[in-house]
């Protein structure tokens, strides 16, 4: 039976009780909907969207999804299933100014979260008119992911939110963090065993295929493990990871030891800790090498070791890479790699699995997942050699170490051609794991198990969506493949145990929506802080104002911006800084934040002022490898008022560097480069300092003129006088311009490229000069 609604196209959506019941709850209270993959979570969103638009025709709906392919898929479905017109699509390929215009003109926006976060920071859009935000793959709403920032802004408005996920996580704190960050007050959970769901579950056949490493490949793994054991023993001599066998220490334990070492170094621990920290760094690189050797193959391992060799031999090469490459074990491994089979046996097994499926069903669609682009490329090339197999590689957009990514248009075309049958095998990395709805997929192949229960659920959920499907997992015996498989399985069991306990608690309080909506007060998830608590904290304490004389101000009445009638400042940040806590702090200070890829510096305060932000570790690392002074040169070349902020504690004891070298570097920055260096303790202090710099830049300045009295000038001085009147041109730069071009006229006729040939003229200054003299 079709679901009927005036804003849903007739006959397009099947009526399913569990979807209707969840939608009835979600249209009234912010809800996290947890359902198995293929159960139509998006349809629930469409039902809620239709209800909200019917009730509030002028309200905007923002549908967020983590990947561009998923955004395009949702936009197509919105247009095809709902009577809401064609939605506008926002991705990084739409320019910010165009997004601002489209936001005002459109009521339904489907977008990646990063661009919405950026637009909120730049204040080019507002969530004030948004009636509903849908967070697809809502489990991502933790940490520094863009969902968290958007959720925080939207919670201030008490707006309605709907989260969709098949895999919220295996830890209670993680699930509650998602609810807290995105503002979900209710959780609606369904499993494949629920009576209102079970009839719609499609059978999924599982198969585990074991392979064995050839003797030489096994020998390579064993030699790498010998080295790992040696590193663990060295760490135990330093007093870490004691009480356990050196050959049974997990990566998690190594990471815990690393945090402990860093904490001791920050509090002024002994210098021998530097060696322990370096051993940990080598061990983590080695762990990755073992992972490649066991699960991906010798060619992937060779590529990685070559990268390590380049790191070790390059300028400022790290001790961790040198230790790894110069070890006897790795030298032996490199010799073995010259005479070993270049492919992992799973490559041949994956080919066999694909051939077998296509022989049984010629029109099959198959998705093969792998964690590494190198393996995806190798597998795709091998499949290309087979008759009747037409593979396509599906990876992210970024170019990585010579491996070219796919543009958004290429990703969309790949999915469309796969659905049409132009390609019958999609070889995908993690970008294909989340949400892609390709109903015709018959088989999903895991080239390797993944330890994450979320990724495991997402991968296998690409099949058995509208018809029976198969999942085949390739596992290398006696390797971490086995460990990853069991880890994800146990985590998934734990996730459902937690969710079932949570659901029982909900049902105990308000009953289940499976029986239809109830009039009881909605059950609210117990999160870190309720909205009521947050609002209470924001109020002025009553007992602080009761004892004040009439007209007397309390400390709460003072505003540091009160001397400036226009308190909104504008700041451009480097796109690589947008996930930092500094930016999050600044966004709370009524600052319009623009994002761009800056060639120098991190925070552009004005056309003259740039700030380079460095953590203590980054500062020391750039001092060692020489990058510090090349950055200082670029900063002073491109801007008149650059400065450096060093953030964090322990400048003189974080690394084993003679303090005289550090003082020398600071002195050189201040005297040779005329670069102010300011220190802050943490991200909060950095944000406050940047805000203070912005505040000073906003105030009216009274500075003495540096230009001479015209009456006493010679012909040359007159020319210099004219040139000094150009934007950002000092007396020295005027001299250089005149010397380079020979005349004022030639300077005025020069283009940006020609102007930048003059020492000290950066891109900003060159552009302003050209604009002025046009």
45: helix, strand or coil: helix
Q: Give me 148's structure tokens.
A: 């968290």
- Predicted confidence at residue 521, as pLDDT, reads 36
Taking only the tens place, the pLDDT of each residue in 115-141 is: 999 999 988 999 999 999 999 999 999
- Predicted confidence at residue 589, as pLDDT, reads 81
Taking only the tens place, the pLDDT of each residue in 690-713 is: 999 988 765 433 333 334 344 445
- Predicted confidence at residue 540, as pLDDT, reads 36
What is the percentage of the chain residues whose pLDDT exceeds 70?
87
Q: What is the 3-state secondary structure (H, E, C) of 552-614?
A: CCCHHHCCCCCCCCCCCEEEEEEHHHCCCHHHHHHHCCCEEEEEECCCCCCEECCCCEEEEEE
262: nearest Cα among 747, 712, 617, 666 = 617
- Predicted confidence at residue 512, as pLDDT, reads 52
- Predicted confidence at residue 301, as pLDDT, reads 95
- Predicted confidence at residue 373, as pLDDT, reads 93
Percentages helix, strand, coil for the chain (3-state, rounded to 5) are 50, 15, 35
C-alpha–C-alpha distance, residues 363 and 291, integer Å: 35
- Predicted confidence at residue 27, as pLDDT, reads 96
Q: Which residues contact 498 (CB under 8 A, 6 or more apart)?
A: 170, 171, 172, 175
Q: Name all contacts of 746-751 with Cβ < 8 Å and 24+ positions apart.
A: 747/723, 748/773
- Predicted confidence at residue 359, as pLDDT, reads 95
| Residue ranges in the chain modelled with pLDDT below 50 | 510-511, 516-524, 526-566, 699-712
What number of other Cβ atoms are within 10 A of residue 266's Cβ? Answer: 14
């Amino acid at each position: 039976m079709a679901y009927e609604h005036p804003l849903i196209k007739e006959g397009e959506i099947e009526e399913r009780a569990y979807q209707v019941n969840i939608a009835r709850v979600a249209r009234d209270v912010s809800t996290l909907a947890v359902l198995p993959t293929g159960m139509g979570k998006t349809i629930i969103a469409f039902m809620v969207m239709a209800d909200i638009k019917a009730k509030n025709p002028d309200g905007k709906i923002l549908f967020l999804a983590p990947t561009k392919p998923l955004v395009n898929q949702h936009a197509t479905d919105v247009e095809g299933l709902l009577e809401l017109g064609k939605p506008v699509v926002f991705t990084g390929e739409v320019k910010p100014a165009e997004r601002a215009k489209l936001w005002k003109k459109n009521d339904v926006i489907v977008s990646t979260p990063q661009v919405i976060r950026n637009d909120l920071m730049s204040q080019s859009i507002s969530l004030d008119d948004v009636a509903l935000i849908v967070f697809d793959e809502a489990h991502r709403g933790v940490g520094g992911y863009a969902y968290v920032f958007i959720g925080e802004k939207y919670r201030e408005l008490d707006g309605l939110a709907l989260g969709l996920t098949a895999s919220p996580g295996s830890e209670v704190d993680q699930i509650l963090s998602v609810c807290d960050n995105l503002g979900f007050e209710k959780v609606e959970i369904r499993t494949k065993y629920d009576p209102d769901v079970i009839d719609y579950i499609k059978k999924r056949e599982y198969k585990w295929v074991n392979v064995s490493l050839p003797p030489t490949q096994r020998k390579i793994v064993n030699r790498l493990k010998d080295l790992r054991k040696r590193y663990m023993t060295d760490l135990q001599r330093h007093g870490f990871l004691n009480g356990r066998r050196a050959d049974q220490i997990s990566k998690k334990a190594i990471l815990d030891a690393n945090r402990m070492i860093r904490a001791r170094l920050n509090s002024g621990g002994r210098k021998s800790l530097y060696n322990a920290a370096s051993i940990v760094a080598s061990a983590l690189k080695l762990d990755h090498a073992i992972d490649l050797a066991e699960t991906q193959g010798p060619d992937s391992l060779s590529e990685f070791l070559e990268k390590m060799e380049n790191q070790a031999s390059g300028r400022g090469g790290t001790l961790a890479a040198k230790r790894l490459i110069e070890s006897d074990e790795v030298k032996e491994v490199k010799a073995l790699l010259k005479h070993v089979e270049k492919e992992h046996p799973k490559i041949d097994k994956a080919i066999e699995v694909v051939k077998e499926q296509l022989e049984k069903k010629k029109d099959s669609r198959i998705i093969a997942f792998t964690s590494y682009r190198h393996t995806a490329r190798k597998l795709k090339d091998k499949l290309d050699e087979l008759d009747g197999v037409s593979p396509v590689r599906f990876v992210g957009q970024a170019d990585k170490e010579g491996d070219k990514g796919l543009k958004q248009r290429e990703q969309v075309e790949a999915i469309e051609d796969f659905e049409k049958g132009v390609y019958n095998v999609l070889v995908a990395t993690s970008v294909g794991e989340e949400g892609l709805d390709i109903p015709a997929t018959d088989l999903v192949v895991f080239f390797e198990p993944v330890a994450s229960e979320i990724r495991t659920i997402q991968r296998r959920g690409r099949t058995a969506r509208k018809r029976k499907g198969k999942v085949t997992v390739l596992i290398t015996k006696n390797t971490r493949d086995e460990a990853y498989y069991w880890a994800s399985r146990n985590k998934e069991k734990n996730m459902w145990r937690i969710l079932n306990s949570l659901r029982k608690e909900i049902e105990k309080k308000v009953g289940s929506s499976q029986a239809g909506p109830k009039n009881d007060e909605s059950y609210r998830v117990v999160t870190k802080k309720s909205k009521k608590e947050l609002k209470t904290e924001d109020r002025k304490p009553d007992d602080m104002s009761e004892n004040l004389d009439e007209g007397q101000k309390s400390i709460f009445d003072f505003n540091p911006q009160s001397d400036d009638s226009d308190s909104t400042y504008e700041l451009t940040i480097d796109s690589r800084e947008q996930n930092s806590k500094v930016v999050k702090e600044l966004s709370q200070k009524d600052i319009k934040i623009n994002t761009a890829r800056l060639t120098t510096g991190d925070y552009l305060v004005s056309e003259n002022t740039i700030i380079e932000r460095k953590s203590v570790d980054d500062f020391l690392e750039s001092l060692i490898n020489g990058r510090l002074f090349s950055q200082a040169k670029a900063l002073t070349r491109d801007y008149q008022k650059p400065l450096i902020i060093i953030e964090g504690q322990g400048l003189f004891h974080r690394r084993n560097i003679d303090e005289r070298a550090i003082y020398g570097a600071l002195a050189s920055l201040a005297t040779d480069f005329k670069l102010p260096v300011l220190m802050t303790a943490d991200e909060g202090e950095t944000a406050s300092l940047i805000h203070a710099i912005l505040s000073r830049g906003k105030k009216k300045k009274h500075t003495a003129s540096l230009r001479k009295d015209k009456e006493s000038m010679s012909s040359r001085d007159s020319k210099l006088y004219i040139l000094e009147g150009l934007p950002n041109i000092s007396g020295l730069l005027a001299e250089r311009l005149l010397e380079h071009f020979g005349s004022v006229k030639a300077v005025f006729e020069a283009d940006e490229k020609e102007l930048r040939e003059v020492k000290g003229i950066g891109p900003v200054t060159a552009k302003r000069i050209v604009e002025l003299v046009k």
